[in-house]
Amino acid sequence: MKKLVISALAASMASATALASESEWADLDRDVQALSASLAGLESSGVKLGGYIRAAYLMSGDVVTTSGNDLGDFDILNARLKATGSRGDIGYVLQAGFEDGGSDSILKDAYVNIPVGANLTVRAGQFKAIIARDSLVSSSRLFFVDRSEIGSLFATRREGVALMGTFDTFDWAVTVQDGSDNDGDEYLIALRGEIDFLGDGVDLVEGAFGASDEIEGTAGVSYWDDGQLQDGNGLLFQGTLATSMYSVNVWVADISDDLYTGNGSSGFLQADSTPFGVMGTFMVTQPSETQGGWEVGARFQDMDDTDDTNIIDIGVNYYGSGHDYKYFLNWSSVDGNGFDGDIISIGLNVGF
């Protein structure tokens, strides 16, 4: 079969060569030169291209879907292409997603960071609200297949502006974005403060892999209010510890009488509730020049909803080359009066 394909390709190339005129080859040469010049221009201007692919197989033996069917699905969880760079002092980020075979291709991040003073930056464009640490971590840097429920709630990008500041070990941000009425005149307003209380603080990554040998700690508190809802506000408290051997992440939210959905909520969070979550990981083996590293972890979430829903996740990750070459195996169990079942996910993350 391979010989037939190669022969067909060779015949096609021969025909194309015979039919191509000298002017066509000249046009091709000019196109190649123009492309080379464009790529050289991108490199000289400091544009960095990157991205990642997360592919997985998800299966279940119990009812876990709203349709009532068991799950057996090959899935592209994420397929991202990202460009970052700067013009003068202004930095920019542009990211697109191509999940589900291209049917859900969509603009993700598209924003600029503008320095406006000592340790002050204005962000403008489309980006995630600066509220939950669990949502700000890139999907490629997650330990588990899915974000925590509070992370999923605020993972949606929206248009708006943010003012961000840094004072020694303390970071803060004020975010104003389109609210749940989208193009209406109501806004999602958020305030966040975060302090690195141990070491240099924890990077935006889940798990212990890549952390310092010395213990690092970060704690934050956030407030949000969706103007479209009569009582659509809430508070979030979060703390994270990490070393090269283990990591711990805890969060608790106080959600008011109306729930901001953000178009990214899983449906487990409810209004007038106090959900919480705790997560821990441990590096079983550290990576070396000859072998990768293994990390195990567990997470428990209590939704404090009317169905008494609890979610348990247990995972194992193998890091062949950090998060840019990572295998993952997850078992997730949802236990509640209205929704019950287990999901097993196995997959690979490759970054470039």
Q: What is the DSSP string of 192-214?
A: EEEEEEETT---S-SSSTT--SS
Q: Which residue is listed with tokens 């974005």?
A: 177
* Residue range 198-205: mean pLDDT, rounded: 95
Residue type, 264: G
In this prediction, residue 65 carries a pLDDT of: 47
Q: Are 145 and 137 in contact (CB under 8 A)?
A: no
pLDDT tops 70 at residue 74: yes
Closest to 238 measured CA to CA, from 192, 178, 295, 169: 192
* Residue range 143-162: mean pLDDT, rounded: 94
pLDDT confidence tier of residue 30, bands split at 50, 70 and 90: low
pLDDT tops 60 at residue 185: yes
16-25, 58-67, 247-256: least confidently modelled range? 16-25
Query: For residues 164 and 172, what is the distance between their CA atoms, to the nearest angstrom?
Result: 6
* Residue range 66-95: mean pLDDT, rounded: 86
Neighbouring residues of 39: CB distance < 8 A, sequence distance ≥ 6: none
How high does pLDDT run on average in the chain?
86
20-24, 36-40, 141-145, 295-299: least confidently modelled range? 20-24
Query: For residues 12 and 343, what is the distance between their CA atoms, to the nearest angstrom?
Result: 48
* Residue range 184-208: mean pLDDT, rounded: 94
In this prediction, residue 283 carries a pLDDT of: 97
Q: Are 172 and 194 in contact (CB under 8 A)?
A: yes
Give me the domains of the chain, ranges plus CATH numbers: 49-351 (2.40.160.10)
Which pair of tokens denotes residue 296? 């195990």
pLDDT tops 60 at residue 47: yes
37 vs 343, more confident:
343
At 268-309, the pLDDT tens digits run 899 999 999 999 999 999 988 888 999 999 999 999 998 899
pTM of the predicted protein model: 0.82
Residue type, 258: D
* Residue range 111-138: mean pLDDT, rounded: 95
At 228-271, the pLDDT tens digits run 888 999 999 999 999 999 999 999 999 999 988 865 555 789 99
